[in-house]
Amino acid sequence: MGYEIIGITVLWLFLYGYLIVASVDFGAGFFAYYAKVTKKDHIINQLISRYLSPVWEVTNVFFVFFFVGIVGFFPDSAYYYGTALLVPGSIAIILLAIRGSFYAFENYGSKQSNVYMFLYGATGLLIPASLSTALTMSEGGFIVEENGQVSLQYMELLTSPYSWSVVFLAIVSVLFISASFLTFYAARANDTEALKLVRKYALFWGMPTIVMALTTFIALGQHNERHYENMMDLWWMFGLSVGFFMIAMWLLYIGKHYGLAFISVMLQFFFAFFGYGISHLPYILDPYINIFEHATHESMGIALIIAFIAGLFLLIPSLILLMKLFLFDADYVKGKK
Amino acid sequence: MLEMDPVLMSRLLTALTLGFHIIFATLGVGVPLMICIAEFIGIRKNDPHYLLLARRWARGFVITVAIGVVTGTAIGLQLSLLWPNFMQIAGHVISLPLFMEVFAFFFEAIFLGIYLYTWDRFKNPYVHWALSIPVVIGGALSAFFITTVNAFMNTPEGFFLGEEGVAAINPIEAMFNPATPTKVFHVLASSYLTVAAILAAIAAFHLLRQKRKKTSAEGASVYHKKGLKLTVSIMFVFSLLTALAGDVSAKFLAEHQPEKLAAAEWHFETEENADLILFGWLNADNEPVGVLRFPGLLSFLAHGDFNSEVIGLEEFPEEVTPPLWVHYMFDLMVTIGMFLVGVSLLYLLFIKIKSVNEHNKWMLWLLVLSGPLAMLAIEFGWIYAEEGRQPWILRGVMTVEEAATSSPHVGLMFLLFLALYAVLGTICIIVLRKLFRNNPAEEELEKKYPTIETGDK
């Protein structure tokens, strides 16, 4: 296996990690606000903040990791995406900045403020929407290079059915992943009232997720046939994804084994995300960036992989410690510590 | 403004983001060390005052870390958005430390989260203290890695640039380029110095306020006095180290980047026994007037010998020399650095001399000034470092102009980010004030440690 493949696999894994942990965080923001509006905040907001407070910074790093890594392994992506994404990228940064800092202000600073809560909830939906458009653009046709000038075709992007279905898929997925995690967390905390509420959210957002996934699949067929055909060849991955979705929904429905249900949701997205990613190859940006032709030099590629492995030895034990203290420590989860 | 040159606007936006980010980055590197030291002393001496110092610093730190994280994310993305051509080369040659910086930060973030939420959770207090060490190390490593990238921009090595782009890449050589050791030393020492000065300024400010109000909150007064003594001692150590780092940096510049040193010193002609000049201005013939002149000192600063030869700006074509106003940035940075050495030394002398009260009004005022001045020195030093490299983004390889994006919308983005930072900065200050004003140290002392003895001890 070449270092290009290892590189893209590592990056994709990090993006998958971000997809899961950030979805939990984004969705929780929305639910917290929604609960406040419907006057149910006393039921779940304590639970949400107990989980999010120690981990929110870690979430952001997954994302930084991905974009720093992609520039390292595939430097041309800085050139194409960097030039084309100035405006949407800046907007995404501003949303992330508002969310991150307001989270800290809200939680460590003063008393609850409606403005913070609103921004926290709203950015929870807007950020996944804006970040997901980068994936849309990677399909080609939206970023073009003419006479050495790279530009983004805004009209095409805003009028494309594929682009919009990705946005909606991102939003409903975030809510589904987040609700199923919170269900597990509430069950762990033995908080029956909160459990009842978040389980309802999870069951509610399951169906839209699978419907939007299917819609997006069809829209992709119209937009990029090559990719669509490749996805068809990997049908079994998507089949597994649907299978895990059904297991998750069943467990949520019968109200047992919420931990297993959340793992099934993770696996559902794992197979869908990797199926999508593998069939996307060899392009990072269709047709300009090809992982085999535009990877960094071998010496740098190998140095990055070594750094990555060394880094994992440091990070995995630390992450396990973090999870042990805040996720699996029953007393902490129940609010006794 | 919206139609302005993308190169200029890209520079302004980068300057804006970094100028704002480095305040929080500096705090992010320095505060963990202070917390770590205070908690250790607190456990060791079984002194609640020091434990409370650590707790309160940590509490304020969370807010500044949040802004550091989001502005750090912003600059990380902006590098690609504003300087796509630079990042294309940098991606090939210098992405290793960029990548590792993220690891270091990840490590820091994980342990910071653990540290903040596990006060009182362990039986052995040293376990909690030990959790601060990875935070200190993570912060220092982040600074180290990111500084190697900046060093690389000054002395790019470890690759070959041919017709076909970059080749023969050696990531380790690129990372450990000639500018790395002095730059890393300077950045770390000055970060610790600045944070110690800021925390000292806060303690001094509280002592002054108590003096004015003549309150009898003995406990709080002892608390702030201990905080002051600790931070000023740390400040003194790091002010000396920073001065040493500045000295080796000047020697590095004289050898590897003489035009940067010469521009800062308004040193136009190559000569032996060169004078060091401070401040002043340039007359119509480009001659420095109204300056403070130290005979031979520039030669000494550059090579450790009063008679050595220092290269002047005349040896470089005008289009590759930095702007001459960097002289003021350099002078201001050095002056403040010297001021910090002086103030911290004076305070420590006052402690030794029994007949002088080290908490007299003037001493406290000088210490209050030290904090903001130290942060200003960081900004001046950084502006000097960046402007002194002009017109290059990669010295001798690529100019800033070649590196910038061609997108016409940078002006609008500049306004958006300006608004964002204004809001973040304002709310940060409001939140910090609320956080500490609603929960003053004296109240917290009584609540948390009801058995504490008051009075000097």
Answer whether residue B1 shows pLDDT above 50: no
pLDDT digits (tens, 9 = 90+) for B288-321: 777 888 888 888 888 888 888 888 888 888 888 8
Among the listed residues A137, A150, A9, A131, the one whose alpha carbon sits nearest the alpha carbon of residue A74:
A9
State residue B321 phi and psi, 5-degree precision: -110, 150
pLDDT at B285 over 60: yes
Q: Could you give the 3-state DSSP secondary structure of residue A150?
A: strand
B114/A54 Cβ within 8 A = yes
- Judged against a pLDDT cut of 60, whether residue B284 lies above it is answered with yes
Q: Is A160 exposed, middle or buried (0-12, 13-18, 19+ CB in 10 A)?
A: buried
Contact B152, B94 (CB under 8 A): yes
Note the pLDDT of residue B62.
Answer: 85
DSSP states of A196-227 as a string?
A: HHHHHHHHHHHHHHHHHHHHHHHHHHHH-HHH
Can you spell out the DSSP letters for B256-320?
A: H-HHHHHHHHT--S-EESPPEEES-EE-TTS-EES-EEETTHHHHHHHS-TT-EE--GGGS-GGG
Quote the minimal CA–CA distance from B91 to chain A in Å.
5
Among residues B152, B111, B105, B154, the alpha carbon closest in space to that of B130 is found at B111
Residue A256: predicted pLDDT: 84
Return the residue of A nearest to B103 by Cα: A311
Q: Give CA–CA dist B338/B351, Å, rounded.
A: 20
Residue A66's nearest CA partner among B431, B73, B8 is: B73
- Which of the four pLDDT bands, split at 50, 70 and 90, describes residue B215? low
User: For chain B, which residues make up each domain, given as ranges?
Assistant: 6-270+311-448
Show residues of chain B in contact with A77, CB under 8 Å.
80
Q: What pLDDT is stored for residue B216 in this prediction?
A: 53
DSSP 3-state assignment of A289? strand
Say whether pLDDT at B456 is over 70.
no
**Partners of B166 in beta bridges:** B161
**Whole-number pLDDT of residue B451:** 59
pLDDT at B409: 81
The band of A54, judged by pLDDT with boundaries at 50, 70 and 90, is: low
The ipTM (two decimal places) reads 0.78
Largest CA distance in chain B: 75
Domain spans of chain A, in order of start: 3-333
User: Distance of alpha carbon A281 from its chain centroid, rounded?
Assistant: 20
> How much is the average pLDDT of B217-230?
80
pLDDT for A53 equals 66
| Chain B nearest CA to A258, separation (Å) | 26
Q: How confident is the model at residue A330 (pLDDT cuts 50, 70, 90)?
A: low
Q: Give the pLDDT of residue B32.
A: 94
Banded pLDDT at A111 (limits 50, 70, 90)? low
- A2-20 pLDDT, tens digit each: 888 888 888 888 889 889 9
Alpha carbon of residue B331 to chain centroid: 16
Q: List residues bridging with A149 in a β-sheet.
A: A146
Average pLDDT over every residue of B239-245: 93
The whole-number average pLDDT for the span A193-202 is 86
Q: What mean pLDDT comes out for the span B329-353? A: 91
pLDDT of residue A110: 55
What the block records as the tokens of A156 is 């095409």
Q: Which tens digits make up the pLDDT trace of B418-427?
A: 998 998 898 8
User: What would the two tokens of residue A26 be?
Assistant: 């984004």
Q: Give the SS3 label for residue B119.
A: coil
Res. B454 pLDDT band, cuts 50 70 90: very low
In tens, the pLDDT along A265-306 reads: 999 999 989 988 888 888 877 778 887 777 778 888 888 888
Quote the minimal CA–CA distance from B124 to chain A in Å.
Answer: 16
Q: What is the CA radius of gyration of chain A?
A: 20
- Burial of residue A135 (CB within 10 Å: 0-12, 13-18, 19+) is middle
> What confidence tens digit (pLDDT) does each residue in B356-399 have?
777 888 888 999 999 999 999 999 999 999 998 888 888 888 88
Paired tokens of B261: 């040193």
Q: Alpha-carbon distance B110 to B107, whole Å? A: 5
Report the first-to-last Cα separation within chain A, whole angstroms: 47
pLDDT digit string, tens, across residues B180-189: 999 999 999 9
d(CA A90, CA A96) in angstroms, rounded, equals 10
Measure the CA–CA gap between B283 and A115, rounded to whole angstroms.
Answer: 55
Kindly tell me the burial class for residue B420, based on how many C-beta atoms sit within 10 Å of its own C-beta (0-12, 13-18, 19 or more).
buried
- Average pLDDT (B129-147) is 92
First-to-last C-alpha distance (Å) of chain B: 61
pLDDT in tens, B12-63: 899 999 999 999 999 999 999 999 999 999 999 988 889 888 988 998 888 8
Find the residue in B nearest to A99 (Cα): B70
Top residue of A15, A76, A297 to mutate, by most chain B CBs within 10 Å, is: A297
Say what percent of chain B tops pLDDT 90.
32
Q: Do A300 and B74 touch (CB under 8 A)?
A: no
Average pLDDT of every residue of chain B: 86
Coil vs helix vs strand at B393: strand
What's the 3-state SS for B234-248? HHHHHHHHHHHHHHH
